[in-house]
């Protein structure tokens, strides 16, 4: 029975040998230099466009902020923060593409992608925490302002 088991095992190994060999070669497959350069150039072009868009949005926000006062200043601040976050995300995305384009094998690309995903997760957690703190401050300040306004109205009528 042991020889039959070994015979079946050897037959299975031989049957899957081409798949195993192909998978081994695929892991070490080199990405052509021309392809990497093309991706880098496209990422750089997109990065420049994102910077131009960011500069334009800053001008629009500055115009809005100048034209309107009070609570709109907070809205402009929020808008700026969102724009900055979007710009940082775009920069990180293009930097990630640049890093991925530099990968010479699929295993190296997988490691780079894993590192990028982990870093983006940390950024998202940090932003969520900052947003929660900022929102809490806005609510507290808004409640204080409402309370002050209510007390002014109440004291005038009393």
Task: List pLDDT tens digits, range 71-89.
Answer: 666 777 888 888 888 888 8
pLDDT exceeds cutoff 70 at 154: no
Candidate ranges 3-7, 54-58, 117-121, 145-149; pick with highest mean pLDDT: 117-121
User: Do the Cβ atoms of 103 and 31 come closer than 8 Å?
Assistant: yes
Residue 15 covered by a domain? no
Whole-number Å distance between alpha carbons of 98 and 36:
8
User: Do the Cβ atoms of 100 and 109 come closer than 8 Å?
Assistant: yes
- Give first-to-last CA distance, the chain, whole Å: 102
Run of H or E including 68 = none
User: Do the Cβ atoms of 99 and 86 come closer than 8 Å?
Assistant: no
141 band by pLDDT with thresholds 50, 70 and 90:
confident
Q: What are phi and psi of 103, to 5 degrees?
A: -65, 135
Residues 52 and 83 in one domain: yes
Residue 7 covered by a domain? no
Query: What pLDDT is attached to residue 64?
Result: 58
Q: In which domain, by residue range, is 61 found?
A: 32-102
pLDDT digits (tens, 9 = 90+) for 19-45: 777 667 666 677 778 878 888 888 888
Total structural domains within the chain? 2
């Amino acid at each position: 029975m042991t020889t039959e088991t070994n015979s079946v095992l050897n037959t299975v190994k031989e049957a899957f040998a081409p798949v195993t060999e192909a998978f081994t070669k695929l892991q070490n497959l080199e990405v052509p230099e021309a392809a990497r350069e093309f991706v880098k150039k496209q990422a750089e072009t997109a990065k420049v466009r994102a910077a131009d868009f960011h500069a334009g949005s800053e001008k629009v926000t500055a115009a809005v902020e100048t034209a309107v006062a009070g609570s709109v200043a907070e809205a402009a601040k929020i808008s700026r923060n969102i724009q900055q976050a979007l710009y940082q995300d775009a920069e990180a995305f293009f930097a990630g593409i640049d890093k991925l384009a530099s990968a010479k094998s699929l295993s190296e690309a997988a490691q780079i992608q894993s590192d990028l995903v982990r870093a983006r997760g940390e950024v998202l957690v940090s932003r969520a925490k900052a947003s929660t703190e900022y929102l809490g401050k806005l609510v507290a300040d808004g409640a204080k302002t409402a309370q002050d306004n209510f007390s002014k109205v109440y004291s005038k009528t009393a």
